[in-house]
Amino acid sequence: MGHNGIIAEGSPTVRGGRVADAGFRGVAHDRRGHGRSSKPYDGYDFDHFADDLDDLVTGLDLRDVTLVAHSMGGGELARYIGRHGTDRVRSAVLLSAITPAMAVSDRNPNGVPQKVFDDIKRGILEERSQFWKDTSEGFLSANGSGTRATQGNKDAFWSWAMQECIEAGVKCVDAFAGDVFYDDLAEFDVPTLVVHGDDDQVVPFETTGKVAAEFVADAELKVYEGGSHGIFTVPGDKERFNKDPLEFLKK
């Protein structure tokens, strides 16, 4: 048995079978308000998310773990290290992650405008089923010529999104729009792999993945040409992503 592994998302960020076949233990969890986790009315902020993760890690007494996180899960991973340190952590993988910051600010002048976040919340509140169907296009970069995204990819994205309760959906937007993770990334003292698609239409690479890889000492950066925000699911990219973290895990 290799060292323990945490996949910090309920979606199949790394296929569990491939992790197990390679001799590692894969542990996946759904964030509060999502998937099969409970859906409380509050606690949708990164301090709570990080403490939930710590409850899981300590409750299972996991040690020497590699934390793998996608999208806003990257903020959860970063805040976990910022609040709880790396005593139990061997390495980290940030996939299409929001770190170090999403929203436009003086420090992040090319960040995402507030109107984008407002439109997401409006879509969730007004007609979330259709909103998530529409959002699948940009999530998978299915709106361009030569896309490899399938209808099955779109349907799977919609299914995952619809498992999220409305309170979680709206409040999580406020969380990833309003929080920043510069100080948390500064606490990284473990090997870190940053994976990002250069056609990520949800979490722009230039202001997140590229910056995070420069910010974390000795981070390894892999940029997927034409890769979408959902590179873990699109044919071609998902096969590469199933391979890259496993090679990283074996180092």
What's the CATH code of the domain at 92?
3.40.50.1820
Dist CA 123 CA 26 (whole Å):
34
23 Ramachandran zone, left/alpha/beta (phi>0; psi -120 to 50): left
Dist CA 27 CA 16 (whole Å):
8
pLDDT tens digits for range 119-153: 999 999 999 999 999 999 999 999 988 899 999 99
**How many independent structural domains does the chain possess?**
1
pLDDT tens by residue, the chain, 251 residues: 233 445 444 444 455 557 778 888 888 889 999 999 999 999 999 999 999 999 999 999 999 999 999 999 999 999 999 999 999 999 999 999 999 999 999 999 999 999 999 999 999 999 999 999 999 999 999 998 889 999 999 999 999 999 999 999 999 999 999 999 999 999 999 999 999 999 999 999 999 999 999 999 999 999 999 999 999 999 999 999 989 988 998 88
User: Which tokens belong to 54?
Assistant: 């710590």
CB 34 within 8 A of CB 56: no
pLDDT tens digits for range 114-126: 999 999 999 999 9
Cβ atoms within 10 Å, residue 161: 19
Q: What are phi and psi of 246, to 5 degrees?
A: -65, -40
pTM, rounded to two decimals = 0.93
**Catalytic residue set:** 71, 200, 229
Domain containing residue 107: 4-249
